[in-house]
């Protein structure tokens, strides 16, 4: 092998030049890589020993795209445009190679990776390979000709789908859509070389820039753009990048390749410098950083999870059991009465049937998952499972009794997990007699859907248990975030403030619909009241009842009585046909209910609150300020390791808009000084319960940001609850 550079190798095999990108871990197009690929293609073109060339990736993947770490170094629109012109010129040079050039794809060809592959004349892939233009998930558009070459290969509709959603397309579909040309079942390199020789024989060089038929007739292709733009009104929720991708695609169709490329370059520059992109890039790295726990090294031993059990077949318990079954892990599901067990199983079956009817899973997958769930009324079989998750009512005495039972009936190394959303897991841990094995695993409703798993570290939770918890999250296709054991942990501790402000805004004069709509326009999938109608008003009410019985409230400040009145009226949300909204039988469409306004007026009168009209901006500012201020307290107290951990939780647990980065990054973009000023203003207007978090004050005064906070001042270990 003749190394062209450390990053790209060149060798001749069977009269074919093999160009191997070797930039671990994902062969990103870091500085030096595009240059070296171009040089290798030039060399192959001139090399008398080479009849064709193959571009392939070393290690586990083809090129996974541009090196995202370098986006932050793009300082201006001009420098972005200059860089993009350079990369477009390189790709044109590669495409103009006189000998057939074949991209051989395994793993993933994403973003710039697919763009390099499309500048090759043909593409072959292993069956498990995936291709995609996921730039939109980073707040940008494909910037190396992706919006121009992809519609020419796959047609406008497919290219629009890929560039506006960013999903990874499996090889088989990519073949059907014309993105790749052959699937290689055996050894990829051998297959690619054979394919290259075939093309050398037939003299075939095909440039995707020259293919026009797939974007003809133009009117139809442009109509696909219009249709996509309209559909984005529902799904993009305030993000700009998906619309920018449509705009670039329109340029591809209307202007031709060269002018279209020039337009793509300009649009890319606008996007890459946007707050949206900065937020999404931060989130990309935060999503990976959550797996890194400073005092739990990567090589910490973990327990193999081969079987599981769940105690409690209510909404959460059933959803948790579904997670295990979906991951192929057999799970016992225990309830106290046959009636409760039957009810729980019926809901599980209904959930699977709904997924099957929508085509999300096959009948076979549904049958297999159901066969892995074993209902039971006893602890029989608990002595052999590797993990038990308790999902009984949020009541300390009940949980302690359950953990005492679990300590008795399970094997010594079994992990004992609790789905508590607020309570002190150290108390259950002590009750179990095996505190090192106890960890909080807080799922989010619906537990079988939401990606977040909030893992709670107790004072005696062992590193092995934590590492196993993180591994389980991955196995269940969730994002595990480890937090400290404070009241409400991180997710619900902050949500308590989010909801407090929503309730108070309602009493002060905003309507349920206005508050929900303001948050939906901000980018949330559903507003606070709609969310509660889905999760169940009874859940929060029962937690409040329990907390009051022990002299606590979920948040500081005035507690609205309206949610408790709804609970007393049996209005639990969608499941009872009425909550904050009214629901027609069998429908989930929220219908405004004048009764809520009456209740809000009554509550306001009781608290002597003068009602007034307010703007959507005021609503969003109050709610997001409350989140950021409490988030700052959590960070300062050391119950979350990093601001990114909080953001990942809010994006994956509550649907906080990705393009805003999460509540902490969003506060950074608003400006911490502005956030602090708001807290002071609210304090003057509403009372001392609005007091600034010390960390917010400190950073705002110093002109800093949550993300810019120095590593040295961050905790290395999560804090523990003081008893």
Catalytic residue, candidates 115, 177, 427, 501: 115
Per CB under 6 A, does 142 bind ligand 3HC?
A: yes
State in angstroms the smallest separation of the CB of 56 from ligand 3HC. 16
Tell me the three state secondary structure of residue 524: coil
Can you spell out the DSSP letters for 235-280?
HTTT-SHHHHHHHHHHHHHHH-HHHHHHHHHHHHHHHHTSHHHHHH
For the CA atoms of 427, 544, 632, 535, what is the dihedral angle to 10 degrees? 100
State in angstroms the smallest separation of the CB of 89 from ligand 3HC. 14
State in angstroms the smallest separation of the CB of 67 from ligand 3HC. 4
State in angstroms the smallest separation of the CB of 288 from ligand 3HC. 4
Q: Nearest-CA neighbor of 648 among 323, 326, 294, 279?
A: 279
Give CA–CA dist 308/30, Å, rounded: 43
Burial of 6 (0-12, 13-18, 19+ CB in 10 A): exposed
Query: Given the complex with ligand 3HC, which of 167 and 576 has the nearer CB atom?
Result: 167
Give CA–CA dist 657/237, Å, rounded: 8
Query: Given the complex with ligand 3HC, which of 91 and 193 has the nearer CB atom?
Result: 91
In the set 22, 35, 47, 67, which binds ligand 3HC (CB under 6 A)? 67
In the set 115, 386, 390, 516, which binds ligand 3HC (CB under 6 A)? 115
The answer to whether residues 459 and 491 touch, using CB atoms and an 8 Å cutoff, is: no
Q: At 346, list the tokens.
A: 């019926």
Per CB under 6 A, does 242 bind ligand 3HC?
A: no
State in angstroms the smallest separation of the CB of 60 from ligand 3HC. 7
Q: At 281, list the tokens.
A: 């890039």
Among the residue ranges 47-55, 67-75, 300-308, 572-580, the one whose residues contact ligand 3HC (CB under 6 A) = 67-75
Among the residue ranges 42-50, 109-117, 252-260, 348-356, the one whose residues contact ligand 3HC (CB under 6 A) = 109-117
Buried b (16+ CB within 10 A) or exposed e, 116-151: bbbbbbbbbbbeebbbbbbbbbbbbbbbbbbbbbbb
Per CB under 6 A, does 299 bind ligand 3HC?
A: no
State in angstroms the smallest separation of the CB of 61 from ligand 3HC. 6
Among the residue ranges 133-141, 235-243, 451-459, 624-632, the one whose residues contact ligand 3HC (CB under 6 A) = 133-141
DSSP state of 3: E
State in angstroms the smallest separation of the CB of 703 from ligand 3HC. 29
Q: Nearest-CA neighbor of 356 among 348, 365, 347?
A: 365
Among the residue ranges 59-67, 171-179, 248-256, 638-646, the one whose residues contact ligand 3HC (CB under 6 A) = 59-67
The answer to whether residues 592 and 513 touch, using CB atoms and an 8 Å cutoff, is: yes
The answer to whether residues 605 and 501 touch, using CB atoms and an 8 Å cutoff, is: no
For β-strands 438-443 and 452-457, DSSP reports them as antiparallel
State in angstroms the smallest separation of the CB of 114 from ligand 3HC. 8
Query: Given the complex with ligand 3HC, which of 66 and 316 has the nearer CB atom?
Result: 66
In the set 2, 25, 186, 688, which binds ligand 3HC (CB under 6 A)? 25
State in angstroms the smallest separation of the CB of 95 from ligand 3HC. 16
Is the peptide bond prior to 446 cis by the omega test (within 30 degrees of 0)? yes
Whose structure tokens read 């407090």? 500
The answer to whether residues 480 and 455 touch, using CB atoms and an 8 Å cutoff, is: yes
In sequence order, what are the beta bridge partners of 673?
Answer: none
State in angstroms the smallest separation of the CB of 142 from ligand 3HC. 4
The answer to whether residues 572 and 536 touch, using CB atoms and an 8 Å cutoff, is: yes
Among the residue ranges 24-32, 249-257, 319-327, 641-649, the one whose residues contact ligand 3HC (CB under 6 A) = 24-32
In the set 100, 112, 563, 661, which binds ligand 3HC (CB under 6 A)? 112
Instruction: Specify whether 115 is catalytic.
Output: yes
Per CB under 6 A, does 602 bind ligand 3HC?
A: no
Whose structure tokens read 């429908």? 587
Per CB under 6 A, does 65 bind ligand 3HC?
A: yes
Subset of 170-229 contacting ligand 3HC (CB under 6 A): none
The answer to whether residues 107 and 62 touch, using CB atoms and an 8 Å cutoff, is: yes
Query: Given the complex with ligand 3HC, which of 274 and 365 has the nearer CB atom?
Result: 274
Whose structure tokens read 């008398």? 48
Per CB under 6 A, does 108 bind ligand 3HC?
A: yes
Q: Nearest-CA neighbor of 148 among 266, 38, 268, 258?
A: 258
In the set 26, 466, 600, 628, which binds ligand 3HC (CB under 6 A)? 26
The answer to whether residues 103 and 50 touch, using CB atoms and an 8 Å cutoff, is: no
Among the residue ranges 2-10, 103-111, 412-420, 547-555, the one whose residues contact ligand 3HC (CB under 6 A) = 103-111
Per CB under 6 A, does 69 bind ligand 3HC?
A: yes
Per CB under 6 A, does 64 bind ligand 3HC?
A: yes
The answer to whether residues 301 and 169 touch, using CB atoms and an 8 Å cutoff, is: no
Residue 29 φ/ψ, nearest 5 degrees: -85, 60
Q: At 39, list the tokens.
A: 């040089």
In the set 21, 50, 102, 138, which binds ligand 3HC (CB under 6 A)? 138
How many residues bind ligand 3HC, per CB under 6 A? 22
Query: Given the complex with ligand 3HC, which of 52 and 91 has the nearer CB atom?
Result: 91
The answer to whether residues 263 and 147 touch, using CB atoms and an 8 Å cutoff, is: no
Residues 6 or more apart whose Cβ sits within 8 Å of residue 348:
318, 321, 322, 370, 373
Among the residue ranges 136-144, 228-236, 370-378, 497-505, the one whose residues contact ligand 3HC (CB under 6 A) = 136-144
State in angstroms the smallest separation of the CB of 111 from ligand 3HC. 2
Whose structure tokens read 């871990």? 25
State in angstroms the smallest separation of the CB of 478 from ligand 3HC. 14
Among the residue ranges 131-139, 371-379, 522-530, 690-698, the one whose residues contact ligand 3HC (CB under 6 A) = 131-139
Give CA–CA dist 215/151, Å, rounded: 7
In the set 36, 56, 66, 506, which binds ligand 3HC (CB under 6 A)? 66
CA 334 to chain centre: 31
Query: Given the complex with ligand 3HC, which of 57 and 407 has the nearer CB atom?
Result: 57
In sequence order, what are the beta bridge partners of 108?
Answer: 130
Among the residue ranges 22-30, 207-215, 355-363, 432-440, the one whose residues contact ligand 3HC (CB under 6 A) = 22-30
In the set 34, 57, 134, 407, which binds ligand 3HC (CB under 6 A)? 134
In the set 14, 42, 127, 288, which binds ligand 3HC (CB under 6 A)? 288
Q: At what angle do helices 112-119 and 77-95 cross, to 10 degrees?
A: 30
The answer to whether residues 118 and 86 touch, using CB atoms and an 8 Å cutoff, is: no
Catalytic residue, candidates 38, 95, 135, 247: 135
Neighbours of 614 (CB within 10 A): 16
For β-strands 108-110 and 101-105, DSSP reports them as unpaired
Per CB under 6 A, does 146 bind ligand 3HC?
A: yes
Query: Given the complex with ligand 3HC, which of 288 and 680 has the nearer CB atom?
Result: 288
Per CB under 6 A, does 111 bind ligand 3HC?
A: yes
Would you name the residues annotated as active-site residues?
Answer: 115, 135
Binding footprint of ligand 3HC on the chain (CB under 6 A): 25-26, 28, 64-69, 108, 110-112, 115, 134-135, 138, 142-144, 146, 288
């Amino acid at each position: 092998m003749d190394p062209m550079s450390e990053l790209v190798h060149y060798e001749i095999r069977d009269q074919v030049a093999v160009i191997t990108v070797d930039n671990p871990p994902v062969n990103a197009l870091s500085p030096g890589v595009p240059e070296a690929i171009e040089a290798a293609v030039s060399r192959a073109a001139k090399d008398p020993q080479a009849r064709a060339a193959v571009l392939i990736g070393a290690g586990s993947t083809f090129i996974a795209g541009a090196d995202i770490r370098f986006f932050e170094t793009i300082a201006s629109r001009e420098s972005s445009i200059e860089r993009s012109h350079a990369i477009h010129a390189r790709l044109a040079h590669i495409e103009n190679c006189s000998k057939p050039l074949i991209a051989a794809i395994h793993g993933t060809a994403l973003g710039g990776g697919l763009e390099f592959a499309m500048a090759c004349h043909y593409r072959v892939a292993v069956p498990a390979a995936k291709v995609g233009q996921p730039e939109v998930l980073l707040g940008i558009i494909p910037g190396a000709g992706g919006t121009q070459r992809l519609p020419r290969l796959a047609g406008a509709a497919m290219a629009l789908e890929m560039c506006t959603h960013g999903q990874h397309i499996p090889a088989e579909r990519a073949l059907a859509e014309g993105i790749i040309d052959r699937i290689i079942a055996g050894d990829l390199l051998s297959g690619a070389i054979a394919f290259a020789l075939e093309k050398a024989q037939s003299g075939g060089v095909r440039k995707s820039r020259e293919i026009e038929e797939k974007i003809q007739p133009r009117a139809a292709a442009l109509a696909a753009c219009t249709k996509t733009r309209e559909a984005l009104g529902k799904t993009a929720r305030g993000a700009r990048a998906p619309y920018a991708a449509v705009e670039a695609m329109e340029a591809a169709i209307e202007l031709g390749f060269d002018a279209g490329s020039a337009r793509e370059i300009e649009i890319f520059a606008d996007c890459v410098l946007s707050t949206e992109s900065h937020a999404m890039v931060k989130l990309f790295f935060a999503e990976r950083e959550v797996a890194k726990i400073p005092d739990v090294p990567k090589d910490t031993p973990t327990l193999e999870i081969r079987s599981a059990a769940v105690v409690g077949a209510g909404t959460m318990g059933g959803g948790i059991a579904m997670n295990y079954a979906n991951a192929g892990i057999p799970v016992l599901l225990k309830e106290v009465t046959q009636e409760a067990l039957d009810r729980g199983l019926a809901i599980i079956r209904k959930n699977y049937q709904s997924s099957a009817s929508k085509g999300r899973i096959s009948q076979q997958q549904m049958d297999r998952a159901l066969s892995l769930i074993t209902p039971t009324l006893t602890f029989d079989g608990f002595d052999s499972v590797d993990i038990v998750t308790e999902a009984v009512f949020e009541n300390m005495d009940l949980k302690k009794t359950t953990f005492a039972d679990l300590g008795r009936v399970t094997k010594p190394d079994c992990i004992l997990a609790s789905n508590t959303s607020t309570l002190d897991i150290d108390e259950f841990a002590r009750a179990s007699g095996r505190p090192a094995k106890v960890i909080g695993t807080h799922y989010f409703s619906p537990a079988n859907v939401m990606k977040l798993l909030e893992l709670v570290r107790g004072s005696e939770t062992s590193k092995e248990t934590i590492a196993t918890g993180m591994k389980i999250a991955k196995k269940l296709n969730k994002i595990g975030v480890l937090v400290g054991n404070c009241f409400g942990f991180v997710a619900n501790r902050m949500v308590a403030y989010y909801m407090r402000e929503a309730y108070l805004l309602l009493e002060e004069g905003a309507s349920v619909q206005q508050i929900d709509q303001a948050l939906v326009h901000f980018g949330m999938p559903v507003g606070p009241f709609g969310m509660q109608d889905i999760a169940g008003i009874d859940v929060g009410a029962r937690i409040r009842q329990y907390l009051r019985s022990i002299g606590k409230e979920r948040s500081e400040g005035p507690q609205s009585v309206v949610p408790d009145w709804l609970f007393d009226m049996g209005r639990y949300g969608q499941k009872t046909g009425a909550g904050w909204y009214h629901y027609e039988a069998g429908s989930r469409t929220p219908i405004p209910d004048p009764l809520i306004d009456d209740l809000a007026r009554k509550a306001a009168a009781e608290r002597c609150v003068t009602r007034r009209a307010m703007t959507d901006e005021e609503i969003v500012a109050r709610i997001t300020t409350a989140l950021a201020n409490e988030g700052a307290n959590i960070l300062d107290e050391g119950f979350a390791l990093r601001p990114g951990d909080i953001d990942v939780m809010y994006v994956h647990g509550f649907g906080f808009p990705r393009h805003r980065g999460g509540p902490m990054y969003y506060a950074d973009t608003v400006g911490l000084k502005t956030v602090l000023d708001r807290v002071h203003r609210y304090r003057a207007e509403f009372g001392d319960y609005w007091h600034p978090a010390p960390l917010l004050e400190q950073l705002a005064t110093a002109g800093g940001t949550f993300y810019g906070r120095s590593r040295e001042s961050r905790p290395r270990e999560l804090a523990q609850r003081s008893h």
